A and B are shown apart, each in its own frame.
Chain A
Amino acid sequence: MAAQPAPTPGAARAPVVSVRGLRRDYPMGDEIVRALRGVSFDIGAGEHVAIVGPSGCGKSTLLNLLGVIDRPTAGEVRIQGRDVGGLPDREATAFRLRHIGFVFQRFYLMPMLSARENVELPMAEAGVPAAARAARARELLAYVGLADRERHRPAQLSGGEQQRVAIARALANRPTLLLADEPTGELDAATGGEVIALFQRLREDGTTLVVVTHDDALARAAGRVIQMRDGGIVGR
């Protein structure tokens, strides 16, 4: 089976993610919801971080800011030294394509595409030649244990299998950072276990990974846990 490439030596010293004084307010009519009240932390290369905390404490808000799909009210997010907080849409989109891998709670595979085509999608967007992306997609599907399912459509796969395809898709462009919001939220214990095992393997292979979860088993698989409450970090 193909292994994820090891992180570049030396990258461990400079953090992959550096968050300083991060705030995100949502204006709601006259009131303001303070979803993040100034959080700061670093994540080193190859680290596997779980963000946990009660519902509504700001976990997804934080993950969205790390994933460059939202803009902070104040503070900064740096990924590999680049301040990504204020990127205009076009640049943010390009940045996500090359540097961020997303895994969603509800998989969001394209229903009309096969497993392999779903994995190829981000590579096609990045301009990877067809032969190279087919080879890489096969390699990734083998990595997530679905080598024999490459022609299957999402509807022909179980929830756990769909999520593994989604993880393969997230890894397609060799992202700097893999983000997952409740990746086992839609799965039962058994299929959730497959995904957890896969994350463990990603960690061993040196993928930098941030997972938001309510799932204790998934949190335990992480090397480091960030505890949140009311928009702030209460323990790590």
Chain B
Amino acid sequence: MLSLVLAAAMQLGTRGGPIAVPPHVRTIAIDTRLAEDARLRVGDRVVLAGQPAAAEGGDTVVVAAIVAPNADPSEIARADYRIRLHLSELQRLVGTGDRVDRFAVRTTAAPGRQDVTDEALARINAAAFGFHAYRSSEVAVRTSRTFQVVNRFHRAIALITIVASSIFLLCILVLRVDERRRDVAALRLLGISRRSIVGSIVVEAALISLVGSGLGTAVGWAASLAINWHYRGVYRTPLAFARVTPDIVLVAVALAIVLGVGAGALAATRLVRLPPLALFGR
């Protein structure tokens, strides 16, 4: 099936530069995926038809541009090709004459005027004869509701992962500190105070957390590159699938340090509360 999108004005980014097309020849623009799969190049002639069998009756058009697909998450799972063609071509192709579901209008502000879009919207909607005009950003919000839900799922999964792995880390840290019980006992016998011991364990835990979250960030960043490279290839889209933003790094580092310090303090206070001779395992 062909998914058809009309462009009111064909101002398209082209690959291979613009070509000189005689005015009577109709043109289309295709996306890079179709160009790749059908081995089409700018300047090639193709026949447009609704059904393969109807190819003889179709219009011959020239591929005038090859356009990179949009980074639109709503289209990622669909392997559809995108073709941009003139309105008359589209109408002939679908055979329904004057019928358009929606179309986009690009507004350009005149020098010194900022409100052209608002004004255009107001005017169109005041004159409304059976349709409504929206800003593209509004449309984006409406169509991305699914992604907001998905996003919430992601957050929930992240939260569960963090809680589970923190408990795991806590146990490991308590065990690791427990391995040092004899050292701690020796320090206590030498006259090192509980506070100093807890303090040094907490500082060590904080440093380890800092280094660990740094390494984790590096690994995460490398993984995001690999993931993006892989899925961009699979879905042939410029979309970013995984991102490591400064915010995420900040949260990760802060979380790691808070957890590390908490676990270290817990493990250490548990240990120093015991009398030193008991720590020696007597």
Q: Scan residues 177-211 of chain B and give those whose CB is less than 8 A from a CB of chain A.
A: 182-183, 185-194, 196
Are B277 and A93 touching (Cβ within 8 A)?
no
Are A122 and B191 touching (Cβ within 8 A)?
yes
- Measured between beta carbons, the chain B residues less than 8 angstroms from A100 are 191
Interface centre among B185, B189, B192, B275 (most CB of A within 10 A): B189
In the assembled complex, the Cα of A102 lies from the Cα of B191 at a distance in Å of 10
Are A110 and B276 touching (Cβ within 8 A)?
no
Are B191 and A97 touching (Cβ within 8 A)?
yes
Nearest-CB residue, chain A, relative to B196: A125
In the assembled complex, the Cα of A100 lies from the Cα of B276 at a distance in Å of 15
With A108-B182, A108-B183, A125-B196 known as contacts, the answer to whether A169 contacts B190 (CB < 8 A) is: yes
With A69-B276, A69-B277, A70-B277 known as contacts, the answer to whether A95 contacts B186 (CB < 8 A) is: no
Are A125 and B277 touching (Cβ within 8 A)?
no
In the assembled complex, the Cα of A69 lies from the Cα of B138 at a distance in Å of 74
Are A125 and B192 touching (Cβ within 8 A)?
yes
- Answer whether residue A39 sits at the interface, using C-beta atoms and an 8 A cutoff: no
Are B276 and A122 touching (Cβ within 8 A)?
no
> Shortest CB–CB separation between residue B132 and chain A, in angstroms?
70
1/0 per residue, CB under 8 A from B, across A92-106: the answer is 011111101010101
Q: How large is the interface on B (under 10, 10 to 19, 20 to 34, 35 or more residues)?
A: 10 to 19
Are A125 and B183 touching (Cβ within 8 A)?
no
Are B192 and A108 touching (Cβ within 8 A)?
no
- Measured between beta carbons, the chain A residues less than 8 angstroms from B275 are 89
> Shortest CB–CB separation between residue B63 and chain A, in angstroms?
68
Nearest-CB residue, chain A, relative to B276: A69
- Answer whether residue A90 sits at the interface, using C-beta atoms and an 8 A cutoff: yes
- Measured between beta carbons, the chain B residues less than 8 angstroms from A169 are 190
- Answer whether residue A128 sits at the interface, using C-beta atoms and an 8 A cutoff: no
- Measured between beta carbons, the chain B residues less than 8 angstroms from A64 are 277
- Chain A interface residue count, CB cutoff 8 Å, equals 25
Are A122 and B189 touching (Cβ within 8 A)?
no
- Answer whether residue A46 sits at the interface, using C-beta atoms and an 8 A cutoff: no
- Measured between beta carbons, the chain A residues less than 8 angstroms from B183 are 108, 110-111
With A64-B277, A69-B276, A125-B196 known as contacts, the answer to whether A93 contacts B188 (CB < 8 A) is: yes
Nearest-CB residue, chain B, relative to A99: B191
- Measured between beta carbons, the chain B residues less than 8 angstroms from A125 are 190-193, 196
- Answer whether residue A53 sits at the interface, using C-beta atoms and an 8 A cutoff: no
- Answer whether residue A67 sits at the interface, using C-beta atoms and an 8 A cutoff: yes
> Shortest CB–CB separation between residue B187 and chain A, in angstroms?
8
> Shortest CB–CB separation between residue A117 and chain B, in angstroms?
12
> Shortest CB–CB separation between residue A178 and chain B, in angstroms?
12
Nearest-CB residue, chain A, relative to B190: A122
- Measured between beta carbons, the chain B residues less than 8 angstroms from A70 are 277
- Answer whether residue A121 sits at the interface, using C-beta atoms and an 8 A cutoff: yes
In the assembled complex, the Cα of A170 lies from the Cα of B187 at a distance in Å of 11
Q: Scan residues 107-153 of chain A and give those whose CB is less than 8 A from a CB of chain B.
A: 108, 110-111, 121-122, 125
In the assembled complex, the Cα of A98 lies from the Cα of B187 at a distance in Å of 14
1/0 per residue, CB under 8 A from A, across B195-229: the answer is 01000000000000000000000000000000000
Interface centre among A125, A169, A170 (most CB of B within 10 A): A125
- Measured between beta carbons, the chain A residues less than 8 angstroms from B196 are 125
Are B191 and A94 touching (Cβ within 8 A)?
yes
> Shortest CB–CB separation between residue B191 and chain A, in angstroms?
3
20 contacts between A and B (CB under 8 A): A90-B193, A93-B188, A93-B191, A94-B191, A94-B193, A95-B191, A96-B190, A96-B191, A97-B192, A97-B193, A100-B191, A104-B189, A108-B183, A108-B186, A111-B183, A121-B192, A122-B191, A125-B190, A125-B193, A170-B190
- 6 shortest interchain CB distances as A-B pairs: A97-B191, A108-B186, A96-B191, A125-B192, A102-B189, A122-B190
Other A-B pairs, 20, CB within 8 Å; known A122-B190, A173-B191: A69-B188, A93-B191, A93-B192, A93-B193, A94-B191, A95-B191, A96-B190, A97-B190, A97-B192, A102-B186, A102-B189, A104-B189, A108-B182, A108-B183, A110-B183, A110-B187, A111-B183, A121-B192, A125-B193, A170-B190
Residues of A within 8 A of B (CB): 64, 67, 69-70, 89-90, 93-98, 100, 102, 104, 106, 108, 110-111, 121-122, 125, 169-170, 173
